[in-house]
Each structure stands twice: as C-alpha cells, then as structure tokens.
Amino acid sequence: MLFFTQCFGAVLDLIHLRFQHYKAKRVFSAAGQLVCVVNPTHSLKYAPTRCAAAQASTEQGILPPCHHHEAVHDPQLVPCMCPLFSCPWEGHLEVVVSHLRQTHRINILQGAEIVFLATDMHLPAPTDWIIMHSCLGHQFLLVLRKQEKYEGHPQFFATMMLIGTPTQANNFTYRLELNRNQRRLKWEATPRSILECVDSVISDGDCLVLNTSLAQLFSDNGSLAIGIAITTSKVHSSEAEM
C-alpha cells in the first residue's frame, strides 16, 4: 500500500514538474513582475471589406454585420477580430475571449502590470505578436505589429484594444513602457474597442510607433520587453497641468 502511495506521489510530482516546465517556457517572473514571452506569428491580412464594414458599424454605434459572410444570422454577432487570421468565426462579444484562447491559442495573463517580451524582432514584416491581458474585470488584447508603411522601412506599432464596447474602453488608460540602455519611452492612451479595426489604428499611427533603429536600442538579444499597465482613466485629468 505504501509502495502505491509513493508511486502515486511520484506521478503527481512528475505532472507538477511537467506543468512548471511548460509554464516556465512561456512565463517567468523577473524582479517581481510577470513576464510573458510572446512568439511571433506571420500576419495574414484581413479582407479590406471586412475591416471597412466593422469600422463603419462601430462608428454608427452598432455591432459589425459581417458583410464578408454570405448570410448574416444575427446583427449582434461579432466577427473574429483576431488580427492574425482570416477567421470565418463570428459570435457574441462575451465569447470572443474563449474563441481567441481556444482557436488561436492566444495566452491570457492576469495582473495589473505585466511585461510583454516579444521574441525574434528581426523577422521580416508583416509579423504580429499578440497576447490577452486580464485586468480590472476586463480583458484586453495587446498587438505588436512589424509592418512596412514605407517600402523597405519596417516599423513597429504597439496598441491595446479592450474586448468590449467603445464606451467601456473610454473608462481605461493603458501604458506601454520601454526601458533599456539609459533610455525610456512611454506611451499612454485610451484603449480602442476590439470592435474597431486594429489595422486602421495602426495605419492612423495612433499608437506607440518605433523605427527599426529605436527598436534595436530597446531590444536585448533580439527580444523587446514592453511593460504594460492598465488603470482607470483618471490619469488624463492631469492633462491640463502641462
């Protein structure tokens, strides 16, 4: 009986170690902050009609009707807004998170402040690094994209989208921070709603923008660490102080 108990204990330890090893591969703690290693994914572009339709619907205050699908069953359905894939999925806003986790294997991290460590920054554009961040009772999507707005000159664009409505998004402020080599760059803004198109946020340049040379100054061994913090949007009340 003792033998079986010991065997069972050993099996449990092995499972625990295996789980710890798996966690360590993607998440580790540095100086008390949660660091998430995010691997790149080669970006597949949206069909322009999809993006335009979603954008127009959001501006009118209604949910996007998914014109790219042959039949629209329900105007309350949201198409998959994951910028990585031309995904035919559509569903209610409440199930977007589970769709992104289960179908696109996007990690979700808890915590007020996390560090997003994007690997392989040298990969050619277009490339995306994506993670979900659960904070203050909501889920956010962080997108870092390497893209050539001007041919032959790739740039990095980082933004945060709320998995919620534009009205809900207005209640928050997100901060992205780069800190290395005696240089610090901080970007603070109100997150956009996931119902708006990430492509248009990036093409408008209304996000953190890094030239390749600046990205190299902030990166370490091909990886770029971005500190992320989300707060309620009282921070901007100090705008008038400047």
Maximum alpha-carbon separation in the chain:
73
Q: Which of residues 219-238 bind a second copy (CB under 8 A)?
A: 225, 227, 233, 236
**Alpha-carbon dihedral 77, 82, 83, 85, rounded to 10 degrees:** -100
* 3-state SS assignment for residue 218: helix
Query: Which DSSP string corresponds to 98-139?
Result: HHHHHHH---EEESSEEEEEE--TTSPSSEEEEEEEEETTEE
Stretch that binds a second copy, among 42-50, 65-73, 133-141, 182-190 (CB under 8 A): 182-190
The residue from 4, 73, 150, 232 that contacts a second copy (CB under 8 A) is 150
Stretch in the footprint of a second copy (CB under 8 A) among 37-45, 68-76, 118-126, 198-206: 198-206
**Tally of CA atoms within 13 A in the half-sphere of 19 that contains its CB:** 6
**What residue type is 1 in one-letter code?**
M
Q: Give the chain's end-to-end CA distance (angstroms, integer).
A: 73
Of the pair 106, 189, the CB lying nearest a second copy is at 189
Q: Nearest-CA neighbor of 159 among 148, 145, 143?
A: 143
Span near a second copy by CB under 8 A; candidates 4-12, 74-82, 122-130, 201-209: 201-209
Contact pick of 16, 23, 122, 186 for a second copy (by CB under 8 A): 186
Q: Which is nearer to a second copy, 20 or 211 (CB)?
A: 211
Q: Indicate the residue among 5 and 213 with the shorter CB distance to a second copy.
A: 213
Minimal distance, residue 189 CB to a second copy, in Å:
5
- Write each residue from 93 to 122 as x if it is in contact with a second copy (CB under 8 A), else as -, in one continuous string: ----------------------x-------
User: Mapping DSSP to helix (H, G, I), strand (E, B) and coil, where does residue 54 land?
Assistant: helix
Binding site for a second copy (CB under 8 A): 31, 33, 115, 150, 153, 173, 177, 179-180, 182-190, 204-206, 209, 211-214, 217, 225, 227, 233, 236, 239-242
